[in-house]
Amino acid sequence: MPRPPVQRLIEVMSVPFNFATAIEAGLNDAAQALGLDTAPFAPEVHTADPRHGDFQANGVLPYAKRTKQNPRALAEKVIAALPSTITTNFDVTIAGPGFLNFTLQIPALERWLTTYDTEELLRTGATSAQPEAGKTFVVDYSSPNTAKQMHVGHLRSIVIGEAICRLLDFSGAKVIRDNHIGDWGTGFGKLIWAYKRQLNSNALATDPLEEFERLYKVGNSAADADESVLENAREELVKLQAGDEENLSIWRRINEVSLAAFQKLYDQFGVTFDHTLGESFYNDKVPQVYQELTDIGLAAESQGALVVFHPDHPRFNEQPFIIRKSDGAANYASTDLATLLYRTEQFKADASIYVIDSRQGDHCQQLFLTAAKWFEKTNRRLPRLEHTSFGTVLGENGKPLKTRSGENIKLRDLLAEATERAATLVGQKSTNLSPQEQASVAAVVGVGSVQYADLCQNRSSDYVFSWDKMISLEGNTAAYQLYAVARIHSIFRTLETSPTEPTAFAAADGLETTTEIALARKLAKFPEGLRGAVSQLRPHALGLYLYELAGEFSAFYNNDKVAVPEANIRARRLRLCARTLLILETGLHLMGLRTLQRM
Ligand code: ARG
């Protein structure tokens, strides 16, 4: 009989999910009991070098110095005042001048392993007492311009944005995925001009974005060569903006077709948006922005344009934030301001996260500064605003990645090449699979490799795109991780049981070998890998953890035979396999990857 879920949850809550935060809380309790709050005490808990235990707390020393006490004596007092949540889980010792070392006791590790045994329970643990829990995060990512194909420059926003959404969601946030497409540019004038004259319907049917790009080029060079064409294109744009039915329907068609083409790529990445509200959606919402910003004296006319300066900023005191162009048209800034208001009022956003490349740093800073003043003056609550920026994907030559002939690499072609290259690897490694199975494995490995290679970089840096490094079984790659997952599944298949079958572990006894214990300790550090990634919206912290976990698993697997005749040993090792699998799969799914049972 399964136990009632409430009972189970109460049990779960009695086992700390995140040992580092439990130590922090325990130290804060001890500090309070000792009256250390007179001069603020910060626990400063870090993951320790494994030789010194699991965690180290450094806060006693600076506190003792500040308050002129003997650090070791104070450390002893703190240890004596620690609550049972700590003393029942850790051995605590004093190191050096007054650092505290915490080593997880084996029964605590075992409790953790038997408690957090499903993805749902990991989520329960990850959700409890997190600052993100219950908050609404609008994540603005991908957000390409329509009428053009996505290229390699569009990769990172999709991949990083999706991982961030999943990480936030797993931490209990309400996530709203908003694809803020650029569907209202001035380029539509030339495009409509050419569309009306040179549309190739066959090309439109087979490859619409290619056709729109061609038409745009046609319109552009015709306008360059002939002043009257340029004039006509301008008229087409004015007509569009004034709501001319014919132009609007062409424009709608272009956007619809663009989105359908984008969706094919999103499908490959497993991305679904809750909203795709383009710049055009905010068209009728910008006048309110002009009005309010002018009324509060934040925006003023300058050479016909409406601009915002920030006298308190060293650069934006002179570099204007143009929110209405001199021809009266709205721009990127006006729509972004209107968008933020909309997200605040309609989505009740507690946070608005912009996953945009670092070159738009100024735009974001000016947007955030302007919004902060605007919201303050109008008594609105400002959501947390964050530009989750990222660097550029470089070629081996250190310059932005291009084709040999210097063109942008289309994202579609990049994913096709990834799948093709993965097929070669899979063909060598997965010889037991049928050709069809190999092909579907290759698709998962190919796209996953591109995603994972991107996510394992600190997003702030540029990185060099290398097929050989990315699609490989060596190093921290998707293929390495996915094969580890499939290998664990195959262990269970061979032993004719399942990782989710509790009876498989019923006979398990205490952890014994060094490699078993090392693996268990690594497993129980998952919450910190996760926290590192969520707190800074940096997925690579989780990627690094997963790599270390896979490494500990290999060491364990090479050292400790699982299929032994002794039921107790087999069961406890199988349990370690099952938990490794659970955490690897959960982690990889959080990074946006699909995993496979058989490879
Ligand atoms: N469409 C823009 C571009 O391609 C990115 C939009 C990002 N989101 C935003 N709210 N500004 O550069």
C-alpha span between 326 and 374 (Å, rounded): 22
| Whole-number Å distance between alpha carbons of 429 and 307 | 60
Tell me, using a 6 A CB cutoff, whether residue 516 lines ligand 1. no
Q: Which residues contact 182 (CB under 8 A, 6 or more apart)?
A: 143, 144, 145, 146, 278, 279, 332
Contacts of 479 (CB under 8 A, 6+ apart): 422, 425, 445, 448, 449, 471, 472, 473
Q: Work out the angle at residue 5's Cα, subtended by the Cα atoms of residues 132 and 507, and round it to the nearest 5 degrees.
A: 110
Q: CB-based burial of residue 325 (10 Å sphere; 0-12 exposed, 13-18 middle, 19+ buried)?
A: middle
Find the 153 Cα to ligand 1 centroid distance in Å: 12
d(CA 435, CA 340): 49
List C-alpha distances in Å: 212 to 37, 215, 412, 430, 445: 66, 5, 16, 41, 32
How, if at all, do strands 136-140 and 351-354 pair? Answer: parallel
Ligand 1 centre and the CA of 579: distance in Å? Answer: 40
CB-ligand 1 contact for 143 (6 Å cutoff): yes
Amino acid at 270: G
CA of 142 to the centre of ligand 1 (A): 8
467 and 420 Cβ atoms separated by less than 8 Å: no
- Coil/strand/helix, residue 110: helix
**Integer Cα distance of 75 and 69 in angstroms:** 10
Residue 140 Cβ < 6 Å to ligand 1: yes
262 in ligand 1 pocket by Cβ < 6 Å? no
**277 pocket-lining for ligand 1 (C-beta < 6 Å):** no
Structure tokens at 227: 């002043």
Q: Give the pLDDT means over successive 10-residue stretches in the chain (599 positions).
A: 68 87 92 82 83 90 91 94 94 92 95 94 91 96 96 97 98 98 91 96 92 95 96 92 94 95 96 96 96 98 97 97 93 97 98 98 98 98 98 95 93 97 97 96 98 98 96 96 97 96 93 97 96 97 97 97 96 97 98 97
- All structural domains of the chain, each given as residue ranges with its CATH number in brackets, are 6-127 (3.30.1360.70), 137-182+278-387 (3.40.50.620), 187-269 (no CATH), 411-590 (1.10.730.10)
Collapsed DSSP state (helix, strand, coil) of residue 401: coil
Type of residue at 491 = I
| Angular region, 263: left φ>0, alpha ψ -120 to 50, beta rest | alpha
Note the pLDDT of residue 1: 47
State in Å: Cα 130 to ligand 1 middle.
29
- Nearest-atom index, ligand 1, CA of 363: 11
**Cβ 40 vs Cβ 28: under 8 Å:** no
Cα-to-centroid distance, 160 and ligand 1 (Å): 15
CA pair distance 536, 557, nearest whole angstrom: 33
CA of 337 from ligand 1 middle (Å) equals 13
Ligand 1, atom 5, residue with closest C-alpha: 143
357 forms beta bridges with 390
What length does the chain have?
Answer: 599
Within a 10 A sphere around the Cβ of 303, how many other Cβ atoms?
A: 8
336 lines ligand 1 (CB under 6 A): yes
The SS3 of residue 354 is strand
Cβ count within 10 A of residue 28: 17
The 10 Å Cβ neighbour count of residue 407 is 9
Do 594 and 509 form a contact (C-beta atoms < 8 A)? no
Show Cβ contacts of residue 157 under 8 Å, excluding neighbours closer than 6 positions: 141, 142, 143, 355, 356, 357, 390
Task: Take atom 11 of ligand 1 and give the residue whose Cα is closest.
Answer: 336
- Ligand 1 centre and the CA of 375: distance in Å? 22
By alpha-carbon position, which residue is closest to atom 12 of ligand 1? 144
Sign of CA dihedral 572, 577, 583, 589: negative
**180 Cα–ligand 1 center, Å:** 6
Q: String of b and e for 79-114 (b: at least 16 CB within 10 Å)? A: bebbeebbeebbebebeeebbbbbbbeeebbbbbbe
Residue 369: its pLDDT value, please? 98
Query: DSSP of 266-299, one letter per residue?
Result: HHHHT---SB---GGGGGGGHHHHHHHHHHTTSE
Closest CA to 588 of 154, 270, 272: 270
pLDDT at 595: 98
Quote the pLDDT of residue 3. 57
